[in-house]
Chains A and B, each alone.
Chain A
Amino acid sequence: MNFELSEEQQLLQQNARAFVKQRSPLSRARKLRDGALDRALWREMGDLGWLSLPFAEDVGGFGGNFVDVAVLLEVFGSTLVPEPYLASIVLAGTVLARAGTPDQHQRWLSAMMEGRTIVALAHDEPGHRFSPRPHSAVAVAVADGYRLRGRKEFVLGGQHADVFVISALVGGEPALFVVPCGTEGLTVRSIRTIDGQGAAMLEFDSHVPSDQRLTGGDPGDALDRGLDAAAAMTVAEGLGVCRSALELTLSHLKTREQFGVPIGSFQALQHRAVEMFVEVELVRSILALAAARADHDNPDVRHHATSSAKVQLAMSGRFVAQQAVQLHGGIGITDEHDIGLYFKRMHALTLAFGDEEHHVRRFGARPAFTDLRANS
């Protein structure tokens, strides 16, 4: 057992830290709130190899794993880098890589890994909470392809996307279609989100050529893996977010004076800060499990790890975010102060790819949960 980062991972961490310090400090996240994406920076991430990090070499990827991605995303979380890495690379990319044929990888995944296009997965539908399957979006075979109809909501990264991967039912079974932005019959409405990163709502009644249906793998499995990878990696970004929130809070406790002394000398506040620290360490600990197993082939093992981590992030991350605002006092409630940015991003992360209740239920529904022979 070994929790150390490899030399390559340490190097990646150093590079990522230097990168965000120079190119995407927290002030950038504030400036880009509800705004347009900086395509040049995304392209630069592609040149650095970061956008191909989790993909196998045989699809043109870097051949890394989700521990590598976790290293990167923790750093991104620390300054709230607004690029849609989680939504595009981790979620849409995993689904595309798992469900696409080599031709389809060549056509869409390569451009995504180079940073030339942004891909988003359009999956969630009104009336269903965090379901791994499509429900009301349907595709019917027509001449030269499919008629794809339905609605998708809260498509993360969708307001920036050049290409969508849309899940729909074909004959009652999940299927995946690649639909470029600008396809006739597709409307993309950008919306603002609590964390300023935005999303899109989709409506579509479009003709999709046959070769845009992903046919290289089981779509249901690809969706499940994509959602698990994304859920696990929210925990990595969430760790970065709560570490920074704790750092800001500690610095406030050490410098803010009341009653003639730094408020961090008061035991009530010290103990609260210790509770925050403990929760951060628990997130860091469970992330090791989630990152190592985010792409495990056995779904039970994968679900156990990702759901544990997602539940722990929801419990710990929210506590840290709330107490960070509390310990800042009135200034923490102002938009001007940065702590609120972390507070809001944390809430977006705990909701993304399954909230606490969803993952508690999934954790408890695994067959192993009630197998009392285990561990005896």
Chain B
Amino acid sequence: MDLSFSAEDNAFRHEVRAWIRESMPTDIAAKAEIDAHFDMADVMRWHKILFARGWVAPHWPKRFGGPGLTATQRFVLTEELELAGAPALSPFGLSMVGPAIMQFGTPEQQERFLPPILRGDEVWCQGYSEPGSGSDLASLRTTARIDGDDLIVDGQKTWTTYAQYADWIFCLVRTNPGAKKQAGISFLLVDMKTPGVEARPMLTIGNTPAFCDTFFANVRVPRANLIGPLDGGWTVAKALLGHERTLIAAVGPSQRMIRRIKRIATDTTDGGQALIDDPAWRSRIARLEVKLQALQMANYRALAGAALGHAPGPESSILKLRGSEIYQQTFELAFDLMGSHALAWFNEPGVIPELEQWVASGYCYNRATTIYGGSNEIQKNIIAKMLLGLPGA
């Protein structure tokens, strides 16, 4: 057992850190400093900067334009980007539909869709959930009926994050209403500019415009946009969910939050005493930091296993579960430390310290982390069945 990174990996870490310092535009760095919300323009600007350096898709194979980094280097790169507070890239192209197209797409589809994802020329969103189909995704009702060489799509998708900025959407659609649930579903790519597609943004409880409802009315899509066979979309969807997710623990963002928590606790006084010097507050911060430390070690275990080419072990299944909860707890603690400042909601600068400005919004919005990507309750169902061998209901 050896907990240290190799000299080569440490050198790579320094290279990444120095590059981030030099390459991050000052306005983005200023937002990163206070973990302000990045709008889509910031995200795509950063995407293109990373693309120019060859680091936008560390997990992509070299033949599709990936940088050919080792598993540990990929981890280090992502960890450094997180610790620097860099904008999180849109995952829908790079981490979701991209790998699905690599695995199930034809050479023509790969050539058509992968390069623009990599360059950041085409932005993607995800059309999975529907108003009546959340955790029970396979009950979805958006239909696509065959009409010659085309499919005609009708229905509604929801929680289509940033659909208002997207050029393309990948959808699960029902192509065979007679088949049972999973069996009649196809995986379809739809150009958002197609007549009949409409994305209506809605505000989240964090007052950010992250979500949309996306409507399809008589939308004509070429059959060539199917990924995988007709009625074979569920297999694609499952593979997409199963793609490597070692960084889902959000350790880097939580570490940044712990540091912010300590800064807030140092700057906030009660009767002349900084909260960080109050034993009760300090204990609460310490407990949370310990929990994060344990999670980080679990994350390292998953990484070290992946670096040796092992299949994900039991430790990786807990990463999403605890990672999402701990990230929420960091926002909750920051929110609590702020006292009355936590009441302030999107005021002009000066009402509360700059460092605290995005905490309340982040606290609210990040209630989503235990819901998206399969709610934590669904994750527990899966762990109970797959890892603990508990009987089905």
Interface residues of A (CB under 8 A from B): 1-6, 9, 67, 250, 253-254, 261-262, 264-267, 270-271, 273-275, 277-278, 281-286, 288-289, 291-293, 307-308, 311-312, 315, 357, 360-361, 363-364, 369-370, 372, 374-376
Query: Do A288 and B390 have beta carbons less than 8 Å apart?
Result: no
Q: CA–CA, A375 to B307, complex, Å?
A: 24
Cβ-closest 5 pairs across A and B = A270-B384, A364-B286, A285-B297, A285-B298, A286-B294
Which residues on A sit within 8 Å (CB–CB) of B321?
274, 278
B294 interface neighbour in A271, A277, A312, Cβ under 8 Å: A312
Query: Do B294 and A308 have beta carbons less than 8 Å apart?
Result: yes
Using known A-B contacts A250-B388, A250-B389, A288-B301, determine if residue A1 contacts B293 with beta carbons closer than 8 Å.
no
Using known A-B contacts A1-B300, A1-B304, A372-B266, determine if residue A285 contacts B388 with beta carbons closer than 8 Å.
no
Q: How many residues of B contact A (CB 8 A)?
A: 52
Query: Do A375 and B83 have beta carbons less than 8 Å apart?
Result: yes
Q: Which of B41-49, B133-141, B195-203, B275-283 contacts A (4 or more CB under 8 A)?
A: B275-283
**Interface check B13, CB cutoff 8 A:** no
Some 11 contacts from A to B, beta carbons below 8 A apart, are A1-B2, A2-B308, A264-B390, A271-B381, A277-B383, A277-B387, A282-B295, A285-B298, A289-B293, A293-B3, A375-B259
Query: Do A360 and B300 have beta carbons less than 8 Å apart?
Result: no
Q: CA–CA, A284 to B316, complex, Å?
A: 13
Q: CA–CA, A139 to B262, complex, Å?
A: 44
Residue in B closest to A373 when the chains form the complex, CB atoms: B259
- The number of residue pairs between A and B whose CB atoms lie closer than 8 Å in the complex comes to 151
Q: CA–CA, A283 to B290, complex, Å?
A: 11
Which residues on A sit within 8 Å (CB–CB) of B339?
none
CB distance from A69 to the nearest CB of B (A): 12
A311 interface neighbour in B287, B297, B308, B392, Cβ under 8 Å: B287
Query: Do B1 and A3 have beta carbons less than 8 Å apart?
Result: yes
Using known A-B contacts A286-B293, A311-B290, determine if residue A292 contacts B314 with beta carbons closer than 8 Å.
no
Using known A-B contacts A274-B384, A364-B282, A372-B262, determine if residue A308 contacts B293 with beta carbons closer than 8 Å.
yes
CB distance from A359 to the nearest CB of B (A): 8
CB distance from A13 to the nearest CB of B (A): 13
Q: CA–CA, A284 to B393, complex, Å?
A: 30
Residue in A closest to B322 when the chains form the complex, CB atoms: A278
Q: CA–CA, A374 to B287, complex, Å?
A: 19
B4 interface neighbour in A1, A67, A265, Cβ under 8 Å: A1
Query: Do A2 and B384 have beta carbons less than 8 Å apart?
Result: no
Which residues on B sit within 8 Å (CB–CB) of A1?
2-5, 72, 300, 303-304, 307
Query: Do A370 and B276 have beta carbons less than 8 Å apart?
Result: yes
Q: CA–CA, A289 to B303, complex, Å?
A: 15
**Interface check B285, CB cutoff 8 A:** yes
Q: CA–CA, A316 to B321, complex, Å?
A: 15
Query: Do B308 and A4 have beta carbons less than 8 Å apart?
Result: yes
Which residues on A sit within 8 Å (CB–CB) of B291?
282, 312, 315
> 16 new A-B pairs (CB below 8 Å) besides A2-B1, A271-B384, A282-B291?
A3-B1, A3-B301, A6-B1, A265-B392, A270-B380, A270-B381, A274-B384, A282-B295, A285-B300, A311-B287, A312-B293, A361-B279, A372-B259, A375-B83, A375-B255, A375-B259
Using known A-B contacts A372-B259, A375-B83, determine if residue A288 contacts B383 with beta carbons closer than 8 Å.
no
Which residues on A sit within 8 Å (CB–CB) of B393?
265-267
**Interface check B354, CB cutoff 8 A:** no
